[in-house]
Amino acid sequence: MRYRLFSWFSSGERWTARRIGVAVLASIGILAVVSTIVVGAAMAFMTTDQGRNAQRTTAMPTRATPPVIGIPLAVRPVLSPPLVANPEDCPPVPPPTPADAPIEVCDVERAAVYRLGPVGLALDLTGATETKLPDSEFHTVQMSMNQASSAAFAQYTAANVGKQLAFVRNGVVLAAPAITQAVDGQSIQITGELRAATAATIAQMLHDGT
């Protein structure tokens, strides 16, 4: 397309209605072409920018799974009510016992003797902490486990409602709660009349595996 708009300004010819109309139409045509080019460039820029934004929003960081701590925590069934004992009456900590064999061991405070059956399952722990209960002189221990152990523990407790289990670490009963219902979740809280020193010992044995 040829535009002669500027040649009319340099000529000495008189402006007629026809020439003015042609000039106006030519101007409108130029503006239309320029507008089309500008709009196209803007749309291309916006599309590119939206694509970049979409890429940025999909690159979300993932939460890392907590690592397993210590050695697996053995869960054994309590075969009979514990016997009250003096510390000197407790049997020595047994050597590593096969998981399918029963054992007879004391608790952390060496105040009771437990007769336990073979290992029912082993839990992979991811954390263990002790805290003081609000408005109380006693403490509590909270331990967390990975998803696979949580699912296994939920199945085990559901199948043994009304019985008693014991958490055993290196031949010592850390806690022996009664199973009143299926325990579903990745966190277990050990409560009772736990003194600060006892709770700290349990948490350390859970965390370190010793």
Q: Is the pLDDT of residue 159 over 70?
A: yes
What does pTM read for this prediction? 0.69
Tokens of 184: 């579903």
Tokens of 150: 């949580």
Query: What percentage of residues in the chain have a pLDDT greater than 70?
Result: 70
Backbone phi and psi for residue 42, each to the nearest 5 degrees, phi listed first: -65, -40
Placement of tokens 């979409």 in the chain:
54
Question: What local confidence, expressed as pLDDT, does residue 167 receive?
Answer: 97
More confident residue, 16 or 185: 185
Domain extents for the chain?
Answer: 5-58, 69-208
Please report, as a single letter, which amino acid is at residue 150. Answer: S
What is the b/e burial string over 69-98, where b = at least 16 CB atoms within 10 angstroms of the residue's CB? bbebbbbbbbeeebeebeeeebeeeeeebe
Please choose, from the candidates 128, 114, 108, the residue with its C-alpha nearest in 3D space to the C-alpha of residue 194. 108
Question: What local confidence, expressed as pLDDT, does residue 174 receive?
Answer: 96
How do strand 83-84 and strand 139-145 relate by DSSP bridges? unpaired
What are 169-203's pLDDT values in tens digits? Answer: 989 999 999 999 999 999 999 988 899 999 999 99
Class of domain 69-208: alpha beta
Q: Between the ranges 3-7, 60-64, 121-125, where is the mean pLDDT highest? A: 121-125
Q: Is the pLDDT of residue 115 over 70?
A: yes
How do strand 103-106 and strand 172-175 relate by DSSP bridges? unpaired
If pLDDT is split at 50, 70 and 90, which confidence band does 41 have?
very low
